Structure 1
């Protein structure tokens, strides 16, 4: 007897990695690994996927048969199943949650129960049973049967048990059809020919092997034009193409970029699609070739039947690191793994490669293709020479010149609110969130103090709750304060703020603005605007945060802006002008940053010279967390002696929504498999706290 391991396609059902069913004789030929099936579960019929088939009996279980095999449903390839297994094992995720991450919504099942009598009948029947038996001379579904005779479920079960009638189930897949077309229709009949991109592609084509290609092209549009040549090359081979972006802004920019350059339909795949649209793309990825799908990170799990190449843009972007909920994984690493399993090329596009990826190119793990680009002038202002002013003399001079020439000025400041803290001048009392270990941010537009972690807010006060004082220090610089300051300086100019606190419903306002102040939310808009000058204010707070990845993040952010910057100059105001990140940005020299960063990481055994894992402990009792963290650390050290483990130490913010948070950071310099989940589960069997495992992390904050 063949036994199928089935993963349920329904996250509403209590989590269980596998359920076991036997394959009835009539389905042996059609039941295959990767196929969708209908299975009985209690009183329901549910959808699942066959994950494995074996002849081994499952002890202590009375198995039910698979009801039906869905031939029209996309089949999961063995490589896609292997990928999900790898994500579950490597990142120590639940297999059930990992597998269900790939399935789209937008599917309904319609089950038809069809009955027919068995002839001849030698069993004595009641009058009601005889009536049903006579009606079922020809087979009928349950709906038709109930129209002709009043029949109960118990009566039907009794007749089936006595072998008087038979029941079979037909399955119809009811697919929701999108109400309107959402794919992109070509605006031209032939491919846009760009001689420079064609030449670049002819140079790098030989690097399209099973080894990942790091496409280090500094100008974003030039890189995208190369992507078009890649698409054309694989379309001519009747292959499918997947392009992945880390953010919706980048994804939509690329979709718009393609509109007048390719003669093909192409499909988006992201979280803003309706369930019906998501399912349609899911199905087309299996059925249609060639096809181009432009996707968020989730596209890496589509069931392609003839995938030719994967392109992952902005490979350095931290948004590829999925840590919010299980399954937790890094999209860029999963994409490389899928390309390896499918034996196809993968292109990792970037204007500023991650340290890990460039190091892989040095070691020969990745191929490298590099093309530099002309960059805007970068001016670094050493604010230590000033007198504590918000903007330097040179910055103000350049702002006036750019505004005089009718160009826009952008200010990038990654701090929300008016003041980042409020402190009493008499006693030093600082206002903190009652639910988190962070200071409340003052917002002048709403006269509130807000916590940017849990959302708590309170009205701004006029007296100190501790000493009754009336004098306050509105410390720190946020986007609101900078906006207010600029409005006073330039009263005749239109100053607009855009951050996560201010929703701009009419985006045309931005085009009419002279000065725009914002957080990193404004970055995707910079290439679309008439920007003459960009000022980066106060990088120092982030440069010196206790996270090894922060210098790299800041470097990539500024380089990403530079890759498609339409203006002439970028000004960085800083108190750390001699920091290697600032020096590398000013010199426009990636290798300077890389050299300094690799030396520092090698000294401290940070990635790529080790793999970092994080264990996060969350609970009500701080002392318990520390004690349990020490126990957990010692248990891991006992099993894996060569690991370096830091902590338990507070995880910022240490208190979030009235829960304490502590972490263990594990440095692993070996390539041996590391199983933390079993140790955590053994230690946490009856505990009152929550434990989260993050494997192979990019950051520790």
Structure 2
């Protein structure tokens, strides 16, 4: 048999290293397939690599004699990349103009690919060869390994078990063909959680008899016996004694009597506790039935397809998702559900598990490393049929994916900004579905203009839900013109109508959501004597004042310092907060309504683990009257008790220098308005604005997406913005103020007047300095995506390494700031 070679992406970051690399496949690893994780020599060290192809011949420019062999295949659940995920990474490399190594590394979770662990393992047939070993230390190593799990151990574990060094005997036994090295991927500082557990050594009837005997004189022992019988297997000792309400001494006595045994077991870390209460599925509305029937038809085709589930807020999109997932599972396939916010993950997981049970896995950045590891490996083992997660969950090792749901598909948080590849999870979901013949459901009450346009043109299916579930009405909307208060010399943070509305809801024991998309107490501190404002030394932005911690914080680079008592410029004492944030709203609401129970939900208050989940459950259960928050509270959340939503300032997103500003403002206002009136009682929304005539505010007040879309699509076509053109935003950054502009002017000149390409700029970015670097950008427009990528590739290749330094390419940018 001739030599076989494999092209690998090696998980190392070496500047200018061209990958993939070629390695020889040893005969004992001939079963290696695309996606397998392997150990390879790399320089003087060993590294992890991923097989992307197998070849019968090496590259023509490579001497076979210098090609190194692969050392071993890495074992363990989730170690290898599923073929569909690898194909998705290859698509990302092409689509987003990044090298394949960067794309592949981006789909490997940190919890899986942190470091390698090598173990030595007995080879089959060692028993027959044991008599030929005459050296005592060799026999001891073999006999010790035979008693280890999987007949394998690390050298450190083995040395501890035999109480002596084992390097020499292991080396000799490996050479004699009795041992081999095996490799597993272990996350940093954590592995499987090992806990002490107890299990019955007797059958259930005997356990019950023993419990009856002990009931009078040793009730604690009786409790433990019955708890273990109910468990049906091993249960963690800490959990057992806590639930039974007894001391560990009772457990020791049962073990001494031979009724139970204690042992060390692997326990799964659970990101969320599982609610045992099942929920009965509601009756579907007619539009939901039509949508579900179409989804079933699409699932039956087993062909890649995309459909937009366009439903007003409260129309029951989640119920359609649940039914579609059930249909997917009936067809023997799995489902992946993406949500844009971690806050939404908790709610979705709760609702899904109440219907599906423990076959739901969850993945997002706030899980601990151990939780991510356990969930990832559980998915890889096939112990979960449904995965719910944020953006990067699209790369999970879920096999045989038949359905991908992208909830709130319009959300900008689906776009990866740093590091490369700068992908959009919605588009990646469509690419992954293409690899498995899956159905993609894009759900939103306010779809992105591009998605609605594709549905309108027939590229995507269109599944409308124009009526709220149970025919409940959409909330009424009242727009308050804040200019009137200033004209009367009575400016106020809260309009009288909003204060009256809150008072009325508190009296009726109904709930209120107050929304402002800006955290902190105020935008900045301003000296009223000399005009000094507190600014970030690294960014061209002001520092936000946080009153509770008395600190000034940059929300871009995280620079912070104590707030001064006096003006550092004129030593004046009239340094005052200017502008508002959620912290100030909380302070003022508590002053206005001292008996109200208030929760503030923003990035500052949700930094602790599971803080989102605790706050949302607290509010849902009626333990709070008013929820104040940023965009975290604006989308997807479902609270039946909320009958009033107050938007403190509807203008925050309107005037940004970005062609998507109006779209974002409309989406955010419509989404937050949709939180009201989702239960039996009708809802009301109060929008406070200095610009009440703005088309986005007017359309949001009418809950009229299609009115907004008809106006917006005309603007996009006239100015050549998506969906009528593809964009590439090329950003240059440098600590030297002159270099970003210089580099982009060179690039613009090299691009020239290519046919079909429009070059805008270079110009300073609206955020002209961030994290100590000055920023300029060059915007490219082209009707054809392939042509745009070709132009960008040509332009970047024309630059030398110095000219290319500090340049990043963002294809299909979600923001031009």
Distance 2:34 2:406 in 1: 29
Query: How far off is 1:570 after superposition?
Result: 0.8
The answer (yes or no) to whether the contact 2:339–2:390 under 8 Å persists in 1 is yes
Alignment correspondent of 2:477: 378
| Deviations, residues 164-202 of structure 1 (Å, cap 9, x unaligned) | 967973425477435335287684799846344556523
CA distance in 1 between counterparts of 2:521 and 2:28 reads 71
Tell me the alpha carbon deviations over residues 547-570 of structure 1, each in whole angstroms, 9 at most, x when there is no partner: 111222222223323444346111
Answer yes or no: is the 8 Å Cα contact 1:40–1:66 preserved in 2: yes
Q: Which residue of 276, 286, 292 maps to 2:386?
A: 292
Aligned positions, number = 681
What residue in structure 2 maps to residue 112 of structure 1? 120
Tell me what 1:5 maps to. Answer: 7
Call closer, same or farther: CA 1:4–1:476 in 2, change over 3 Å: same
Residue 408 of structure 2: which of 299, 309, 314 is its match? 314
Q: Is the 8 A contact 2:353 2:360 kept in 1?
A: no
- Residues 1:177 and 2:222 aligned together: no
Q: Which residue of 1 aligns with 2:511?
A: 408
1:81 aligned residue: 86
Residue equivalent to 2:659? 548
Which residue is 1:20 aligned to?
A: 22
Change in 2 beyond 3 A, CA 1:417/1:60:
same
SS of residue matched to 1:261: helix
**Where does residue 750 of structure 2 map in the other structure?**
635
State how 1:155-234 maps to structure 2 within 5 Å: 169-171=180-182, 173=184, 176-178=191-193, 179-182=267-270, 187=276, 192=281, 194-196=283-285, 200-208=291-299, 210-220=304-314, 222-234=316-328
Aligned to 1:90: 95
Aligned partners of 2:74 and 2:185 also within 8 Å:
no
The alignment's TM-score, normalised by the length of structure 1, stands at 0.85
Identify which range, 37-46 or 217-226, moves more after superposition.
37-46
Task: Check 1:615–1:154 CA distance in 2 against 1; reply closer, same or farther (3 A cut).
Answer: farther
Residues 729 and 813, structure 2, Cα contact 8 Å, conserved in 1: yes
- How far the C-alpha of 1:362 sits from its partner, in A, is 0.9
1:628 deviates by 1.4
TM-score by length of 2: 0.74
Which residue does 1:423 correspond to in 2? Answer: 526
The structure showing larger relative contact order (alpha-carbon pairs under 8 Å, at least 6 residues apart) is: 1
SS of 2:525's partner is: strand
Residue 578 of structure 1 and its aligned partner are, at CA, apart by 1.6
Deviates more, 1:76-85 or 1:4-13: 4-13
- Equivalent residues in 2 for 1:19-38 (5 A)? 19-28=21-30, 30-38=31-39
SS at structure 1 position matched to 2:268? coil
Distance 1:427 1:288, change over 3 A: closer
Alpha-carbon deviation of 1:611? Answer: 1.2
Aligned pair partner of 1:365 in 452, 456, 459:
459
Q: Which runs of 5+ in 2 are unaligned?
A: 125-133, 146-153, 194-266
Equivalent position of 1:261 in the other structure: 355
Alpha-carbon distance in structure 2 between the residues aligned to 1:571 and 1:537 = 8
Supply the distance in 1 between the matched residues of 2:591 and 2:552 (Cα, whole angstroms): 23
Comparing 488-497 with 657-666, which one deviates more in the overlay? 488-497
Q: Helix, strand or coil for the counterpart of 2:305?
A: coil
Contact 1:9–1:100, Cα closer than 8 Å, also in 2: yes
- State the Cα distance separating 1:492 from its structure 2 match: 5.2
- Whole-angstrom distance in 2 between the partners of 1:247 and 1:170: 43
The answer to which of 419-428 and 209-218 deviates more is: 419-428
**Are 2:523 and 2:580, in contact at CA under 8 Å, matched by a contact in 1?**
yes
CA contact (8 A) 1:238 1:289 kept: no
Deviation at 1:274, TM superposition (A): 4.5
Q: Which runs of 5+ in 1 are unaligned?
A: 117-130
**CA distance in 1 between partners of 2:171 and 2:561 (Å):** 64
> Deviation per CA, 1:656-683, whole angstroms, max 9, x where unpaired?
2322122222222223341435643653
Equivalent in the alignment of 2:559: 456
Q: Separation in 1 of the partners of 2:710 and 2:290?
A: 31
Q: 1:349 to 1:152 in 2, by over 3 A?
A: closer
